[in-house]
Amino acid sequence: MTSIGTGYDLANSIFSPDGRNFQVEYAVKAVENGGTSVGIRCKDGVVLAVEKLVTSKLLKPNANKRIATVDRHLGVVYSGMIPDGRHFIERARDEARSWRDTFKTPIATADLASRMGGYLQAYTLYQSVRPFGITAIVGGFDSTAELPVDGEVGSGPSVGAGGKVAGKTHGGPGLYMIEPSGLYWGYYGAATGKGRQAAKAELEKLDLGGPGGPALTLEEAVKEAARIIYVAHDDDKEFELEMTWISGSDGPTKGLHQEVPKALREEAERLAKKAQEDKVDE
Amino acid sequence: MDHRPQAWGRPRDDVYGAYDASYLQTTGPKTATQAPVVTGTSVIAIKFKDGVVMAADNLASYGSLARFTDVKRLRPFLSTSIVGFGGDVSDMQFLDRHLNELAIDEAYEHDHAETPSPSDDSTTTTQPPRGQLNAANLHKYLSKLMYRRRSDFDPLWNQILVAGLDSASKPFLASVDLRGTTFSSPSLATGFGAMLAQPIMRRFAATEEDAAKLTREQAVDVVKECMKVLFYRDARSLDRYSLAVVTKDGVELREDEQLEKQSWAFAERIRGYGTQTV
């Protein structure tokens, strides 16, 4: 950081002569200190996982959840400054609600990512604010079936909604990662936080973006997500693994964002620990 | 020329004569909904030993015109409760969207309730997560909402039945109407059903003890029989209806039931109206 002390890092809305916004880069540093978050988009859903670092023995285990639900079909996990993440979620819920108020239909994952990307970007523009110290991973499953409009009572015209292309499918799993700059991309697998490098290396080994779509199933993805969090974890600190998933309406969560059942999570953790030990033995 | 801001955009008095401001009157009685427009008729429900059965036909009438024939008037809430709406359909839609919002808020509060795993004992997994709104809570909420609206002289023109389980996991059934009046009974019916179906249901479940002896099949049969009687005698009813059964395992809702084994033989014996002379 040779530019520290040049004065260009003192506020948002000032570029340095070489075209950088230092406040945003410092926000990224805040993210890099947070517990690792991982998102995997697979064949039949999305898995979100976070390495929740235990900051005090006085905290109740499995309380203080880090992954939040937005609307019913969307989940958000983030790394970095937790209060910033809480505010991010509050805003995401407001966006999802106002979308429903306007369109009488649930917000699509891509639309929520776009709205939130725009929101974060606005926090890089003004003297009076600082950027968000988080990178958020937004996962969702947009219904593949034609949904009734909220409050609809009858079936409406039998010809269905307009603009349909025969044979074209709609909806499906979506995964987006939004950075402090407001930058967001859709991902097959996303990782952020302290262990992101190791996590990304592991994600790249998975079959997530094959020509016929991802081959990984939801249950396999849960196990991989747990393993990746364990791989990315720095050994000397205690942590809890928190995992949620979203499947389609025919899957285990019936289109809802829910916590992975305890039995499956414990199984995934057992396999993750075993994989760790096997590696040490080699 | 009159350049005062009050006169901006107004027709000039010297050209058009004095401005008639009578239509700008803001005094006078407030005229909120004074009558329902598109309406649904009866909703009926009866408790049985493990839960509650509810039914309502799929008709929305515009006065006496059978205007919409595929209207779903039974709405599940959080897959733990069922809400049946009689009365104005647009107010029902408003309430439905409002309850949807409430259900989403519930999803936030109980941050991602765990997916029940298939291996778990089915008696424990199907209970709503602790603290989640049950039918009794939902009914209380709706009664406050309805009473508030009637106190604002802007009632939601509905009669509502709420069915599900209470906090002790016992079958729960209660009603609330456009005045915020609440009522609870082993069997309940709104609209014409209160006259025609209620006496039939009371034959099978006059008391809570009677209701606790009814099986699910018996309760469904009683409700089907009542729907038939309602179709015979209520001119604003339809032979296609929705039937919901709510138990601890959740809500089973069938929205395209058809009345079976109708017999109109009794109609010939009815005298005393129309063009008959005898």
* CB-CB contact of B225 with B75 (8 Å): no
Which residue of A75, A153, A264 is in closest CB contact with B112? Answer: A75
Q: Which parts of A33-157 fold into alpha helices (H)?
A: 82-103, 109-122
Which residue of B103, B115, B120 is in closest CB contact with A253? Answer: B115
Question: What is the enclosing helix (H) or strand (E) of B75?
Answer: strand B74-77
Residue B266 placed within a domain = no
- Residues A219 and A245: their CA atoms lie apart, in Å, by 9
Indicate the pLDDT class of residue A13, thresholds 50, 70 and 90: confident
When divided into structural domains, chain B yields a total of: 1
Encoding tokens for residue A143? 């219904």
Residue B259 placed within a domain = no
Query: What would the mean pLDDT of A46-61 be, rounded to a whole number?
Result: 94
* CB-CB contact of A48 with A38 (8 Å): yes
Q: Would you give the distance in Å from CA B15 to the centre of its chain?
A: 57
Query: What would the mean pLDDT of A105-129 be, rounded to a whole number?
Result: 95
- Residues B165 and B124: their CA atoms lie apart, in Å, by 14
Residue B25 placed within a domain = no
Cα distances (Å, whole numbers) of residue A194 to A29, A55, B11, B213: 10, 15, 70, 61
Chains A, B: CB contacts under 8 A, how many?
A: 76
Helices (H) and strands (E) in chain B, counts: 8, 13
Residue B173 placed within a domain = yes
The dihedral built from the CA positions of residue B143, B144, B148 and B154, taken in this order, carries a sign that is negative
Contact A68 B114 (CB under 8 A): no
E strand map for A161-251: 172-178, 184-186, 189-192, 239-247
Residue-level pLDDT at B117 = 59
Asked if B130 is an interface residue toward chain A (Cβ–Cβ < 8 A), one would say no
Residue B265 placed within a domain = no
Enumerate the β-bridge partners of residue B77. Answer: B81
Contact A262 B100 (CB under 8 A): no
Set of chain A residues whose Cβ sits within 8 Å of the Cβ of B114: 258-262
| Amino acid at site B252 | E
Residue-level pLDDT at A253 = 92
Asked if B70 is an interface residue toward chain A (Cβ–Cβ < 8 A), one would say yes
E strand map for B127-213: 158-165, 171-176, 182-184, 187-189
Q: What phi, psi does A124 have (nearest 5°)?
A: -110, 5
Residue-level pLDDT at B118 = 56
Query: What would the mean pLDDT of A77-85 be, rounded to a whole number?
Result: 97
Residue-level pLDDT at A6 = 72
From chain A, which residues contact B within 8 Å (Cβ)? Answer: 65, 67-69, 71-72, 75, 93, 96-97, 100, 104, 150-155, 244-245, 252-253, 256-264
Set of chain B residues whose Cβ sits within 8 Å of the Cβ of A74: none
Indicate the pLDDT class of residue A279, thresholds 50, 70 and 90: confident
Which residue of A153, A252, A260 is in closest CB contact with B93? Answer: A153
Residue-level pLDDT at A167 = 75
| Domain containing residue B144 | 38-110+126-254
Q: pTM for this structure?
A: 0.85
Residues in chain B where the model's pLDDT stays below 70:
1, 30, 110-113, 116-131, 277-278
Residue-level pLDDT at A149 = 84
Query: What would the mean pLDDT of A97-121 be, rounded to a whole number?
Result: 96
Residue-level pLDDT at B126 = 42
Q: Helix, strand, coil: what percent of chain B each, to 5? A: 35, 25, 40
**Widest pairwise Cα distance in chain B:** 86
How many CB atoms neighbour CB B62 within 10 A? 12
Contact A261 B115 (CB under 8 A): yes
Residue written as tokens 């570029």?
A15
Q: What phi, psi does B62 have (nearest 5°)?
A: -110, 90
- Residues B75 and A211: their CA atoms lie apart, in Å, by 42
**pLDDT by residue (tens digit) across A194-225?**
999 999 999 999 988 767 777 789 999 999 99
Q: What angle do CA A78, A66, A228 make, to 5 degrees?
A: 65
Residue B260 placed within a domain = no
Residue B225 placed within a domain = yes
Is this complex's ipTM strictly greater than 0.90?
no
* CATH code where residue B47 lies: 3.60.20.10
**Nearest-CA neighbor of B242 among B56, B68, B40, B83?**
B56
Contact A153 B71 (CB under 8 A): yes
Residue-level pLDDT at A156 = 61
Residue-level pLDDT at A159 = 63
Residue-level pLDDT at B9 = 79
**pLDDT by residue (tens digit) across A152-181?**
887 766 665 666 667 777 889 999 999 999
Residue B276 placed within a domain = no
Query: Average model confidence (pLDDT) for chain A?
Result: 90
- Residues B221 and B231: their CA atoms lie apart, in Å, by 15
Residue written as tokens 């029940």?
B116
Query: What would the mean pLDDT of A233-253 be, rounded to a whole number?
Result: 91
**Nearest-CA neighbor of A179 among A136, A148, A221, A147?**
A136
Contact A65 B111 (CB under 8 A): yes
Catalytic residues of B: 33
**pLDDT by residue (tens digit) across B213-269?**
999 999 999 999 999 999 999 999 999 999 999 999 999 999 999 999 999 988 888
- Residues B118 and A71: their CA atoms lie apart, in Å, by 25
Helix (H, G, I), strand (E, B) or coil at A135: strand
Contact B60 A151 (CB under 8 A): no
First vs last C-alpha separation in chain B: 81
Residue-level pLDDT at B125 = 38
- Pick from A139-153, A242-256, B166-180: least confident: A139-153
Query: What would the mean pLDDT of A143-147 be, rounded to a whole number?
Result: 84
Residue of chain B with shortest Cα separation from A259: B114
Contact B100 A151 (CB under 8 A): yes
- Residues B91 and B65: their CA atoms lie apart, in Å, by 19
**Nearest-CA neighbor of A47 among A177, A249, A225, A207?**
A225
Residue of chain A with shortest Cα separation from B120: A263
Crossing angle (nearest 10°) for helices A262-281 and A218-232: 50
Indicate the pLDDT class of residue A278, thresholds 50, 70 and 90: confident
